[in-house]
Structures are given as structure tokens and as C-alpha cells.
Structure 1
Amino acid sequence: MTDILNQLVTFIGEHPTLANAVVFIIAMGEALFLIGMVVPSTVVLVGAGTLVGLGKLDPWPIFIWTTLGAIAGDAISYWVGYYYKDRIKSVWPFSRYRSLVERGEAYFRNHGGKSVFIGRFVPGVKAIVPGIAGMVGMGAARFTFINVTSAIAWSVIHLGPGFIAGTAFGALGEISGRLATMLGVFLVLIFIAVMLARWLILIVLPFYAGSRLRFVAWLASHDNRAARWLARMFDPAHPRSAGMLISALLLLVTVPVFVLLASAISPDAGLQRADTAIRNLFQDLRTPTGDEIMVAITMLGDGLIASIVAGVTVAYLFARKAWRRATGFLIAMAGTAIFVPLFKLLMNRERPIDIYTGADAFSFPSGHATVTTVLYGLIAVLVAHDRSPLTKAGVFSVAVSLIGAVAFSRVYLGAHWASDVLGGIAFGTAMVSAFAFVFGSVHNEKVGRWALAGMVTLTLALAGGFHAMRNFDGALAMYQPVSPTVTLAEPVWRAQGWKDLPAERIELNGGEGEPLILQWAGDPARLAEALAPAGYVEAPQWSVATFAGFLTGRTPPEQLPALPRIQNGRGAELVLVRRDEESDPVSANRDDDEARDGGRWVLRLWPTRFRVTTVSGEDLPIHVGSLIHERILRPLNELSAPRADRDLPLAEENPLPRMKGVAIRMRADGSQVTLAIASDVEVPEAPLAQAGADTGTAPPADASPSGATQ
């Protein structure tokens, strides 16, 4: 993974013109009237700032093109509003979002001319205010001055965090590439979660104002108490209707998600394979420094800290005489505390590592993820209640960051499978949604929201800090990485143990890929030597130069890098390619220098958790390998696009059984797998294809009969 990310960063850094064009288009699109509501400018610009901080892009061109894009977008929106005036409310597509236009008008009336500057930084109105300024006849010179100055400030604010992060990652990369990759993945996931929460609160709901009105009208047509109450609660004019709608939608989504996850975690299901692959992926990224960071974070979600924070919150709510909210909070937390261990006992799913006893020894759902989601989700609901959308977005961004950090730490440390964490978050979100839906209409209890937020923050800092100081070393030792290695004696491996290794490649999503037809014990480089006479060479490494080979239609197949394939969360340690002269009927009939073959064989070798102890006493890692055929498509003779068309070679196309010193085994489905120990394999002097022809490609003496089902 680290190599792929490095190559991607290098490619972008070596194409600054492309990067400049992207930031210009994104910055302009973000400011276009209404269109900017759905343009992910923050994600792209923070990423561009990160590349600047890593030293891959020149800062001044990126800053200038970002600023110019922002200026151009606001200017276009201004002139659209200036031209259409009030007619814009009846012109498609703006007529479909009349409520958003009216919201922008109200914002402009409240803030006047300075709304052009301020509005650029306010999600939900930033793509509307410039058009409103044109509608109301704001002078072009005044608008241009505000537009330019605000664009400069906006660019600094959006590129700055990424620049700081990129500088930090660059320094970390000098220390440990794996640490930098892990922290990068962590921050990206948190960032995406926060952006989704803000997008839901600030952008999605306003787009559905018309649908809400129709829903309210439908409810009002039903003359019963429940329908009238729902109509009142979901009325857009009701100050709490937006929160009620979000709560209802989340409740309808998260409960089925939790049920689906719980029903899909059987050992033979694809989800378990995906969990194992994800765990292996993170195990390979672990570093001592990363462990210390994640242990500190995971301790903030320990039951002791959650109990203290919950106790302080309940005591505060009762002290403020917020009886109903205090009671609801207490019921939600107590219900969660009872539900998690009972459901763990019911599911009886084993953890990735053995670190607890009793009900906590089981895995689904994650107690840390569930309790943290419920606790800080409820507190966020209490603090953000009846506040502006921007304030709500800020409060929930903090809560989502804390919840996401604890959840990520559980997967990173190997304490839970990824599905355990997702299940805990789904159930916790459902509890929070139910609480918000029930208590969203309560408006006569004074909570003292910022006092509550301050008290919770102080409690978490003091209790969490004291807990970490006292128990950090023990927790660090408990979460030490565990590699579940299985060692087999050579006779056992050759007789029956080979069946324990996967027969098909396991993808990151748990799906099954191509058959694994090789089990290789020892140094992968030895396999490259053994297959060299058959025409196999190491695939080119990914770089800007080799990537450019995909952009031309005349690149020989052996000069194209192999597309990455993950086996059970791990990347290939060895990739070999061989040109297939007979795969392209056009090339096969041409003998000129310009003929280009259209196919190749690709052999990949991945590490496993298995090792073998040989008869001579060597302890060797076992790798598994596949051999697939790729046809190189060349549309219009301008591109080279590899596409796998066969996952299994024919007997005469497979050089593995023809290596000297290997053993052949047959699976129950009739497929063949080659077992080899690197030190036993002889490198032939003649090409393997010729050697196979000379011997009639007969299997070695210890090969199982073709009809065996072992």
C-alpha cells in the first residue's frame, strides 16, 4: 500500500499542470450558483495542500489557481443573479430549489454586503450569496473587491491545513513510511466521516424542503392524533423539524444495517474473509509509535472513562432539573450497557486476539465503538439542540471525530474485526437517533448546553489523562501485535497441510478471486530464477514513466506494470510477467519490427501466515501464487489496457509443474496445485516449455493421482 501511495503522489507531483487545472475547476465549481452545494472542494483542496506540504507541488501556482477559480465561480454566480433578477426563482433548475434561494436572500438581508465575504466560508449558503448579490443589484466594483479579498482568505484557509499535514507527514515519512501511511489513512477516514456529517446537516436537508412540505401535507390529510403530531414535528417552519427528520432517517437506516451485519458474520461468509483481509492490512502498517498513539486513543473509550463521563452528565442534567432528558439519557446508556454483553454472548464470535474474559471475550459488537457512539452522540444531541445548522455541524463534527478515532483504534490494534466496529456504530447511531426523535420536541428544559460541553470536555481530559498515566504500559503490552503463525512440518504440509492454505485469492471485500495454484516455501527471488528460462521477468515497478506506457498503444506487454491485487489484505511480494506471443492473432501474423503482442501471463506471489519446517531443519515462510492471463486491449491503437481473460492456465501453459523438485497435488474440484521448497527447486538450463515437451509434461513421481480428493 505504501508503495502505491508513493507512486500516486509522485505522479501528481510530476504533473503540476494537471493539479493546477483540477484545483481551478474545483474552486470555481464550489462557488457556482447552487451547483457548488455538491462540489467536494474541501476534500480536494486539503489534498492539494497536503501535496504542497510534502514538497510534491509548487505552492504558489496551486494558491494562485485556487484563488482564480474561487474568483471566477463567484463572478459567474453574481452575473447569473444580476441578469435574471427575481425571475431566477421561476427558471429551471433554480426553480426546483426555490427555498434555498429564499434562504440566501434572508442571509443577505441579515448581513448586507459583508455577507459576500462571510458567506464564502458558510456551508449551505456559500454557493447562493453571490447570486443573491447580483439579484439585489449590488455594485459590480464593490462585489469584485469583496470577491477577490474573500477568495484569497478562503484559499489560505482551505490549503493551509493540508500544507501543515503534508509537512508533518513528510517528516514522519523520513522516520517511518508505515507510520505516515497509517496516520494518513486514519485522518482521511475521520475527515470523510466529518464531511459526511456536515454534508447531511448543511446541504442534504435543505434540498428536500419541497419533499418535506408534501409529506407534511399528506400527514395533515389524515385526521388522527399521531398524523397531526408528525405533521407538526416535520413542518419546515418548526424549529426542530430538521433534527426530527434526520433522526427518523438514521433510525430507518442504521437498524437494518446492524441486523444485516449481525446475520453476515458467520465463519464461512464473505464478511469474515473481508474482516481478516482488513486486519492483515492494518497489521502490516503497525509501528511502535503508531501503537502508542492508538492505545492512548482506545483508552478514552474504556468502560471506566465512559462510566465517569456518563455519570457526570446524568448528575448535571438532574441538577438542572432536565428530568426527561436526564431520564432518557440514563435509559439509553443503561440499555446499551446491558445490550452489548448480552448480544456478544448470543453471537459468540471470537475476537482477533485473546485479551478479555467473560462476555467481553467475544467480539460482536464492539463495546468501545457502541458505548462511545451512544455516549458522545447523546451529548452532541443535547449540546446542539435548537442551535443553528452551522453550530450543529460543528458540534457533531467533534463527536464524530472522537467516535471515529476510538473505532479506528480498535481495528488498528486488532482488538476487533472491522464489522464489529461498524455494527457497534450502527447500533449506537440507532440509539442516538431514537433519543433525538423522542426528545427533539422537548423545549421547556434548560440544559445549559455550553456548560455541559465544557464539563464533559474537562471530565474526559482529567479522567482520561489519569487513566492513561496509570494504566498505559499495561494496555500497551496487552495490545501488542500478534501474528497468528501456523507452522507445519514438511511431511505434514506435503500430505495434508497444504489443504489449509486458501484455494482462491481473497479480496479486500471478502470476495473470492482467481485460483491459487502455487504454494512456495522460501525466498521468492528463487522462484524468479527458476522461471527465468521460461521467459518470466519481474514486472516493472510503478512510476510515472511506466504509467505512461498505459497511455500509448504500442507498449509491449512485459513493459507494463501489473495492476495491484490484494490477497487476504496483503500485497504481492513478487510479480512476474511473460509475453504471450500467440495471444494476439494480429501480431502473431506479423513479422515486422512494429508488431506488438497483445497478451501476457502474470504470476503473483503473496505471503501467508503459514510456515514450514523442512526435513533439514529450515523454517521457511509459505507463499501462495496465481497465474493469470491478461489480454492487452488497445482501443484505437492509442491506449494499452490489461484485462484478465483467464484465471487458470492450461496444462501446457503452466510452467510450475515442470520445475524440477516440485510436488503436484489435486484438489477435490480437479484443479492442480504445485508445492515447492525453494532450496529443492533446480534452475533448468533449457526453457521450461522445451523441458516439458521433452518429458511429455508428466507430473513428478510424488504427484497425487488425478482422481484424488485429498
Structure 2
Amino acid sequence: MSHWFDSLTAWLGAHPQWLGVAVLLIACTECLAVAGLVVPGTVLLFAVSVLAGGGALGLWETLVLAYCGGLAGDLLSYALGRRFHQNIRRLPLLRDHPEWLGGAERYFHRYGVASLLVGRFIGPLRPMLPMVTGMVDMPFPRFLAVSLVASAGWALAYILPGWAAGAALRLPLPEGFWTAAGVVAAALAAALALMVHASLGGARRAGPLAAGLCLVLLAALLLGWTHLDSLDRGLMTLIQEHRQPALDSAMVLITRAGDLRVQTAVGVLLCVILLLARRWGALCFAGVALLGTALANGVLKQLFARTRPDVLSEPLTTFSLPSGHSSAAFAFFLTLGVLAGRDQPPRMRLAWMLLAGLPALAIALSRVYLGVHWPTDVLAGALLAGGFCAAGLSLAQRRAPLLALGARLWWLILPLSLALLGIHAGWSLPEAIERYRAL
């Protein structure tokens, strides 16, 4: 397998004109029933993303190809399930490994449509769930709507790291960039591994551990951000090199969803709904996560007084560390992710957290793309929000586990929150685009 993998990546490196086809086919295979369990698609996707980032393909081309490939894999899997129904169990591989299909069926019957969103980020379930939905005759429009959303988040999460690594290898970056990047990546990876291990193991101290790790990493970043200047400038150079006028409108639209006014509005909305529903534990958790993050962010900005990057034609005058957009977005969406994962298995809770983090990550990255925050600014905001979310959850569960919210509450929270975010993001968009115009 290793020799075959090395040969494929070497051939693609020598024939970059086929790289787009490779991204499309590998993404399709990774999401295709049965094939996605046999072929190491995740490793292959990372490898071709690195090659693409080396100059063969632009970021948005690579993302679109991966998105289309993943969506095609979903549709083919759904069609197989819809065509053969229960007879598909007679296929040789599924006959020899009934647990592949059985696990996906149990997951789907327990969580319904939500399993398609969350299961997208769980390797053994990703290629099998679309086929299961076809077997049970889920209406195609409903399946397509969910798959369109899930494929977008999946493409971003699986393509962006590899593409960024490939682009970074190509550019002349500041001295010390790779050392700083290695230290930050190793620290984040170690912390994430410890948090995931504690959560999957059902440790009672998983919440306090996560809060402690996030706040320790935040303290280290705040005390040592001057030593990460090469990392900040290198990543800023990398991102600004690929800035395109056609993307500015989309990025401004995304970044406005993290503005203080709209994040305050959706936070108050969530707390009011929880208050009216008398969900005291959830209200305590949300209050600590949202209010604590906001207050701490304001104090830290004034304490460190870091200036913003010199990218905008009319630079913002406020301080940048930590990023208020990043901390507010991560606090709100992680709060939703935690509430959505109550009364569910550990792996499901982690998948909900990953899914909830995607829109917050998009808002955070838009700040770097537009040149109003350094990368460590948005990382500090994410760590601050993560620490307060974990601390709020631990406080809310000090006596009894936090209960899940009912479907009726979610039908209030999600539509109203999305409406507030959308209305504000689209309001006076031309003026906002002019405000974020680069030099």
C-alpha cells in the first residue's frame, strides 16, 4: 500500500494537469459506499491537497472539486441504496462485514437526518450513511438538501489543511516560520488529543481538563505572541497572496456574521429562549460561555493593545488581540454544539462540536483573509471561547448532567438565529465591502 501511494503521488507531481481529476475522484471514492472504507481516501486527499497548494490548483478550485466529488459519492451511495434496498446486503464485502452496514443503520435510526450532518465527520459512517438513507427511502429532496450542506463543511475541513501546507512550502517565508508553526501545531495537537481521549473515555473531569488546557494554551500565546511574529507574517503573506476581488464580497458577508452587535443579539436570543423554557442548567452554561468570553476578550484587548496588520486602506483603530469576532463566534457556535450533543454518545458529542465549529472557523478565517487580524489573534479568540465553554459546562454539570433540549426549542433557536445572522450580514453590504478594501 505504501509503495502504491508513493507511486501515485509521484506521478501526480509529475503530471499536475491530472491533479484536478484526482481530487474529484478521490473525494468521490472517500464518500462512496463500501469503497470509502477500503481506500485510504483521507490520506490521499491530504496528499493531493498538498500538491494542489504547491501551485497546481488554486484554493477555491480545489475546494469546489472536492465538494463536487464528495457530493457525487453521496448521490451514488444514495442511488445504490434506493435501487437495491435490503438486497445490497448480499454484496460480497457487505456479506463478509455486516457490522459496516449495521453500525450505520443503528446510527441513522437513532439520530435521523442529523446523522447525515454529524456522521460526515466520522470515518466509518461517512460512506455508509447515504446508502442507508436510500435503503429506507428517505425523500430525495431532503437528502439532497442535507448533503449539500454536509459536503461543504467536509470539503473545507479535509482540504484546507493540506492545501495551506503545500502553499506554505512553495513561498519564501520569514526565518523561523516553520519552527513557530511546529511548536504551535504540536501544542494544539497534544491538547486536542488529551481532550478527545478524556471525552471518549467518559472521564468525569473532561470538562475541567478541556477548560484548563485551553486557558493554559491561551496564556502561553498571550505571553509569547511576540515570538510568533514570523508565523503571523508568513501566514498573512500566504493568505493575502491568494486574495481575489471576486471573493471579497463573500468574505465580508461571512465576517459580518461575527460583528459584536449580531453576536450580542443571537446570544441574548438564546438566553431568553432558555429562560422562558426554564432550562436553568443550559442557561447557566450559555451565560458563562457567552458573557464570560465577551468580558474577558474586552479586558485582554486593552491589556495587550496589539496593533492590527497594515492591510486595509483605512486601518481599524481598535486593538486586535484576541479577535473579538473569533471569540464571539466560537463561543456562540460551540455553545450550540454542546447543547446539541447532550444525552448522546461521546463520539456523537465530539462530531457535533466539530460541526458547530465550522461556521465559527469560517468567520475567524475571514478576519485573516481581510487583513484585520493576525492568525494568532483568531487562535487566541478560539482558545478563549473554548476555555469558557468548557468551564461553563463544568459549572452547569457540577450536580447533575446537562439535559438535551427538545426539538421544539431547536425549531425556535436555529431559524431565529440564522435570520438574525443573515439579515445583519447582508445589511449595507456595499459599504461594508468598501470598508474592508485592501491597500
* TM-score bracket for this pair, using the shorter chain length: 0.5 to 0.7
Which residue matches 1:465?
422
Distance 1:442 1:12, change over 3 A: same
Corresponding residue of 1:188: 159
1:351 corresponds in structure 2 to 308
Count, aligned residues:
348
Distance change >3 Å, CA 125–CA 263, structure 1 → 2: closer
Letter in 2 for 1:429: G
Structure label with greater radius of gyration: 1
Deviation at 1:344, TM superposition (A): 1.2
1:10 lines up with 2:23 in the alignment:
no
Distance 1:264 1:150, change over 3 A: same
User: What pairs up with 1:246-257 in 2 under 5 angstroms?
Assistant: 247-257=207-217
- The answer to whether the Cα contact below 8 Å between 1:9 and 1:51 also exists between their aligned partners in 2 is no
Which residue does 2:324 correspond to in 1? 367
The superposition leaves residues 42-78 of structure 1 with CA deviations (integer Å, 9 ceiling, x where unpaired) of 96799899759889xx99xx99xxx9xxx67655546
Deviations 1:303-327 (A, max 9, x none): 1111111111111122122234324
* 304, 307, 313: which one aligns with 2:270: 313
- Give the distance between the partners of 2:92 and 2:222, measured in 1 at CA: 50
Identical aligned residues as a percent:
20
Among 237, 246, 253, the residue aligned to 1:289 = 246
Instruction: Choose from 415, 424, 429 the match for 2:386.
Output: 429
Q: Is the 8 A contact 2:337 2:352 kept in 1?
A: yes
What is the one-letter code of the residue matched to 2:418? Answer: A
Q: Which AA in structure 1 matches 2:316?
A: Y
AA in 1 matched with 2:224: A
For residues 239-270 of structure 1, what are the alpha-carbon distances to aligned partners after superposition, in whole Å with 9 as ceiling and x for unaligned? xx5xx63x34422432222122112221xx2x
Q: Which residue of 1 aligns with 2:220?
A: 260
CA distance in 1, matches of 2:15, 2:44: 20
- The residue that corresponds to 1:382 in the other structure is 339
Question: Structure 1 residue 284: deviation in Å?
Answer: 1.8
Does the 8 A contact of 1:413 with 1:481 survive in 2?
yes
Q: Which has the higher contact order (CA 8 A, sep 6+)?
A: 2
The RMSD of aligned alpha carbons is 5.5
Matches of 1:282 and 1:468 in 2, distance apart? 23
Q: C-alpha distance in 2, partners of 1:343/1:407?
A: 18
Contact 2:370 2:438 in 1 (8 A): yes
Match of 1:264, SS state, is helix
Q: Which residue of 1 aligns with 2:8?
A: none
1:403 aligns with 2:360: yes
Rate the CA distance shift 1:426–1:14 in 2: closer, same or farther, 3 A: closer
Query: Is structure 2 residue 400 aligned with structure 1 residue 440?
Result: no
Q: Which has the higher strand share?
A: 1
| 1:332 maps to amino acid | A
Matches within 5 A, 1:682-701: none
SS in 1 for 2:321: coil
8 A Cα contact 1:314 1:330, kept in partner: yes
Question: What does the per-residue CA deviation read over 1:520-579, in whole Å, with 9 as the maximum and x for residues that have no partner?
Answer: xxxxxxxxxxxxxxxxxxxxxxxxxxxxxxxxxxxxxxxxxxxxxxxxxxxxxxxxxxxx
- Once residues 257 and 304 of structure 1 are traced to their aligned partners in structure 2, the CA distance between those partners, rounded to angstroms, is 28
Give yes or no for contact 1:26–1:39 (8 Å, CA) kept in 2: no
Is the CA contact (8 Å cut-off) linking 2:289 and 2:392 kept in structure 1?
yes
Q: Provide the rounded CA distance (Å) in 2 between the counterparts of 1:403 and 1:125.
A: 20
Task: Tell me, in whole angstroms, the C-alpha distance in 1 between the residues paired with 2:22 and 2:245.
Answer: 35
User: How far apart, in 2, do the equivalents of 1:123 and 1:307 lie?
Assistant: 30
What amino acid sits opposite 1:470 in the alignment?
W
Cα distance change, pair 44–469 in 1 and its aligned pair in 2 (3 A): closer
Checking the alignment, whether the CA contact within 8 Å between 2:255 and 2:366 is kept in structure 1 is yes
Task: Report if aligned partners of 1:26, 1:40 keep a CA contact under 8 Å in 2.
Answer: no
For residues 380 and 451 of structure 1, do their structure 2 counterparts lie closer, same or farther at Cα, with a shift above 3 Å needed?
A: farther
For structure 2, list consecutive stretches of 5 or more residues without a partner in the other structure: 1-11, 50-61, 82-90, 164-188
Distance 2:397 2:412 in 1: 22
User: How much does 1:40 deviate?
Assistant: 3.9
Match of 2:232 among 246, 253, 275: 275
Please identify, of 334-343 and 465-474, the stretch whose mean Cα deviation from structure 2 is larger: 465-474
Aligned mates of 2:415, 2:371 — CA distance in 1: 29
SS of equivalent residue, structure 1 residue 371: helix
Unaligned 5+ segments in structure 1 are 82-103, 129-145, 169-183, 213-233, 235-240, 483-710
Confirm whether residue 416 of structure 1 aligns to residue 387 of structure 2. Answer: no
Distance, in Å, in 2 between the alignment partners of 1:325 and 1:12 is 48
Identify if the C-alpha distance between structure 1 residues 263 and 446 changes in structure 2 by more than 3 Å, giving closer, same or farther.
closer
Deviation of the 1:6 alpha carbon: 9.9
Partner residue of 1:453? 410
Query: Is the 1:296–1:468 Cα contact (8 Å) retained in structure 2?
Result: yes
Cα deviation, 1:583-633, whole Å, max 9, x if unaligned, reads xxxxxxxxxxxxxxxxxxxxxxxxxxxxxxxxxxxxxxxxxxxxxxxxxxx
Aligned partners of 1:305 and 1:460 also within 8 Å? no
Structure 1 residues 7, 26: closer, same or farther in 2, change over 3 A? Answer: farther
1:608 aligns with none
Query: SS of 2:258's equivalent?
Result: coil
Residue of structure 1 in register with 2:37 after alignment: 30
> Which one-letter code corresponds to 1:319 in the other structure?
L
Deviation sequence 1:335-373 (CA, Å, 0-9, x none): 22221122112112110146434xxx1111100001111
The amino acid across from 1:463 in the alignment is L
- In the aligned structure 1, how far is the partner of 2:31 from the partner of 2:402? 49
Is the contact made by 1:23 and 1:45 (CA closer than 8 Å) also made in structure 2? no
* AA aligned opposite 2:263: A
User: C-alpha displacement at 1:421, in angstroms?
Assistant: 0.5
AA at the equivalent of 1:188: I
TM-score, reference length from structure 1: 0.40
The Cα of 1:440 is off from its aligned counterpart by 3.4
| Cα gap change, 1:254 to 1:390, in 2 (>3 Å) | closer
* Length-normalised TM-score, structure 2: 0.61
| Residues in 1 aligned to 2:241 and 2:329: alpha-carbon distance in whole angstroms | 27
Mapping of residues 86-125 of structure 1, within 5 Å: none
The 1:439–1:29 alpha-carbon spacing in structure 2 relative to 1, beyond 3 Å, is same
| Kept in 1: contact 2:46–2:159 (CA 8 A) | no
Whether the 8 Å CA contact 1:385–1:440 is kept in 2: the answer is: no
| Counterpart residue type for residue 251 of structure 1 | A
Q: CA contact under 8 A between 2:121 and 2:351: conserved in structure 1?
A: no
Partner deviation per Cα, 1:68-105 (whole Å, 9 max, x = no partner): xxx67655546xx9xxxxxxxxxxxxxxxxxxxxxx9x
Q: Which amino acid aligns with 1:320?
A: A
Aligned counterparts of 2:292 and 2:219: Cα–Cα separation in 1: 18
**CA–CA separation in structure 2 for the residues paired with 1:434 and 1:191:** 32
Give the C-alpha shift of residue 460 in structure 1.
Answer: 2.8
Matched residue type, 2:225: I
Deviation at 1:185, TM superposition (A): 6.6
In the TM superposition, residue 290 of structure 1 has moved relative to its aligned partner by: 0.6
- Aligned pairs for 1:126-275 (under 5 A) are 188-189=159-160, 209=201, 234=203, 245=206, 247-266=207-226, 269=227, 271-275=228-232
Task: After TM superposition, give the deviation of residue 9 of structure 1 in Å.
Answer: 5.0
Give the Cα separation in 1 of the matches to 2:198 and 2:304.
37
SS in 1 for 2:419: helix
Residue 590 (structure 1) aligns with = none
